[in-house]
């Protein structure tokens, strides 16, 4: 895999969520005053089961989605004192044109049809 293929996936799936959360930080990391209830604040990031288990031919994507999960866990620990919840949704296999191409390529290389 060329470096630019690796880098573009990292920019899309790691750097973009980082920049969005960094921009939201001043509005999220606010402590409630004494006797004042904490507002309901949440961070929800999107990952993939590829980031949890890996996937053939997707080392860059799996690494990026794993990074999102680790990033979200860190946000949960750091921002919990501000009343912020952070969660990651890890979607499983979803049939898309790209997933269809990957499946065809994988099974063709094995001799399956």
Known active-site residue 98: no
Neighbours of 56 (CB within 10 A): 11
86: which DSSP letter?
E
Q: Pull the structure tokens for residue 13.
A: 């799936």
Q: Which of 61, 64, 71, 79 is catalytic?
A: 61
Q: How far apart are CA 76 and CA 47, in angstroms?
A: 15
Q: Please give the positions annotated as active site.
A: 61
């Amino acid at each position: 895999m060329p470096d630019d293929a690796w880098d573009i996936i990292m920019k899309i799936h790691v750097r973009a969520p980082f920049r969005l959360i960094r921009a939201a930080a001043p509005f999220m990391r606010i402590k409630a005053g004494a006797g004042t209830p904490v507002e309901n604040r949440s961070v929800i990031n999107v990952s993939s089961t590829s980031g949890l288990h890996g996937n053939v031919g997707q080392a860059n994507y799996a690494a990026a989605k794993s990074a999102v999960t680790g990033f979200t866990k860190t946000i949960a620990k750091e921002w919990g004192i501000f009343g912020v919840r952070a969660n990651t949704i890890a979607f499983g296999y979803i049939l898309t044109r790209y997933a269809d191409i990957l499946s065809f390529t994988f099974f063709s290389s094995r001799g399956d049809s």
